[in-house]
Chains A and B, each alone.
Chain A
């Protein structure tokens, strides 16, 4: 039991992102409202962004900005002192992607609403069956 708690605490960032992911996935599967599903999807994406960002962290690391960089190589740079910037950079792109997806999803939801006057999936499906 103690080991388990230790494992959870030591890697808490993973547990947070997994919880978020599951919340998102749950919303996408279980919710009936299309916009709620879209929200779930966004949570899902954000969870992964969080995961990436958290992997860049190093204990005791600082921002990867080299001060006094121009004044010649006066001191040695230790990579271990800086957190890894690459995952953060990647996530900029991922955020853009997720925003674009969100935009498309909402646009589709609007079209659906205009056509069926509802965003509840079961009502829409019922209308489709009737036709």
Chain B
């Protein structure tokens, strides 16, 4: 594969870091928000400018500093990284707009800090996407954990503190306790940490037991993927302001976790090694358990944000499941699901936030009849939940379709059953909300029959993401193309 050297990946990472002084020093909120938009758009454009190169099948590399052979701070933009960077950088623009509406609507304190760390978190996210090796990945992974901590605990009250503790305990605890030793053991085994086409552990002499241990450490170590039993930070982190939950806990943070797991499967171990050691069923098992248990718990939730959190936990494992199938179609489906789920889930979170801004309601039981008061929001909610369930005409259908094909291809009928059953569960927890929002007896309705939406800054973003979710069904490019390119390069055509 051709590679070219370019500083663009580094710029894409740094652009949001560089504006933090501007954010801190701006006195007027409008100036500050303008800078956020400048950075967000600049980041998106830089990422976008690399897209044609990647689509041609060329990779972009840039080494910042090498401290040991094979262990450098180094960027490599490949198709899957591009996919993820595109999703996160485009959604940052939308979320910035939404944040303005949300934060100002609720008159939150410390907004400057909020926007700074948001920018910081996005740097780390794109850094993860473009990491060329496990060391760089680890670096940005940790950076993201720390940048999101002040965002999760934005309210600075007792509840935020206990959630923040849980968040750090799970995320930082597992990354230091599991990933760090696993990374060092594999470096001493392989002499490099560069993600390869077939994984850098492929040619090494480690025994099957050691490989199994490393796999367990690395998959559970990236606890942002919220694979059970390391999932409970995610519901706890829902104390954060909604835009944070939306972008970070539906898109950036959790997707970073899943992205890392995918990288571990493809870049560290490689499909051949996993197939030869027969570790696929293990990955499928933990993913299936997470999907089913997560969905069942979601059924029991009354708080809308917590419901979405458990739904996210389940959906993330779709991606792990798809890649764990180790078959071309399954992997394609898993990777595309990164994008599809992102647009769907962010819409849902935006809706939850919009409801909170407009009415102050957090619980589903208090939202009977809300469709009449906030029709636009709830329509977007409906579309997005269709996407999550995986029904046409929404993007989620495409990824789920490929997951089903992949499970057939890999002759895993049990997985097929899991997928179909969990779709049913998805419908079971989303549809009642929508149904009761629109169709309820007049005496049940908790809201006056008068249209009163959240501020425009809140509503426009959620409409945009909902529309994109639909568009992705008809035109799933460039995400689909990127995912299949990645799979092709892994599977060798």
- Do A and B contact each other directly (Cβ–Cβ < 8 Å)? no
List residues of B whose CB falls within 8 A of some A CB.
none
